[in-house]
Each structure stands twice: as structure tokens, then as C-alpha cells.
Amino acid sequence: MDDIQDDQNISKDIIVLPVHWRTSEGLNTIYANQMIITHGGGEFYMIFGELIPPLRLGPEDQLPKEIEISPVAKIAVTPENMEKFCTAIQSNIEKYRKKNEPEG
């Protein structure tokens, strides 16, 4: 009987609130055409970057020895949220492909 009372007391202490995303208007969009994903310490890290191709003004022998990527954002998520993130990306890719399939 004590176990039942404890469970009932615990459930009285739990509050469930709905969660709603605010609008993203006014939030800056950051362009990224490169990405690195790594993990450590119990989190996944996604580092987004922008690679700007060099402007060629001379012959090929004057090309740079390397091209730099400028990091623009670093996001850390839990493994559970990374799984949700991957599922959401895959779902959106499938929706995009269905919507943009050539008619035939």
C-alpha cells in the first residue's frame, strides 16, 4: 500500500506543459556548404562552415596550396537528440524528393 501512495504522490508532482516553437522571423540565416560531425563526452558536435572558392585571376600554377573553410556555427546535442535529428532529416529529404520528382 505504501508503494501505491508513493507512486500517487510522485504523479502529483509531475507537471506536463505543452511546448510551442516561436516564429523564427528575425533570426539570421547562416549559409553553410560544409559540415563536420564528431562526438565526445556524451555529445555529438556538428560544426558547419562556409567554403568560398578562390577567385582565379592567373594561370593554374598560381592556385593556392589549400582552401580554408570558415566555421559559422557549432552545435552540440545529446545522442538521443542526434537520433531524432537524423530521423527528421531523412523524413524531410524523402518529402523533398517526392515533391520535386520529375513528372513522367
Q: How many domains does the chain have?
A: 1
Lowest mean pLDDT, pick from 14-23, 30-39, 90-99: 14-23
- Is the residue at 8 inside a domain? no
- Is the residue at 5 inside a domain? no
Which residue is it, cell 523533398? Answer: 96
- Is the residue at 1 inside a domain? no
Higher pLDDT, 45 or 13: 45
Tell me the HSE value of 24 on the side-chain side, using a 13 A CA sphere: 3
- Is the residue at 11 inside a domain? no
Global pTM reads 0.68
- Is the residue at 20 inside a domain? no
Neighbours of 15 (CB within 10 A): 5
Across the range 24-50, mean pLDDT stands at 95
- Is the residue at 35 inside a domain? yes
pLDDT at 61 over 70: no
pLDDT per residue as tens digits for the range 70-84: 999 999 999 999 999
| Structural domain harbouring 41 | 29-104
pLDDT per residue as tens digits for the range 6-34: 555 556 788 999 999 899 899 999 999 99
**Residue 92 belongs to domain with CATH number:** 2.30.31
Across the range 64-69, mean pLDDT stands at 86
Three-state DSSP class for residue 78: coil
- Is the residue at 97 inside a domain? yes
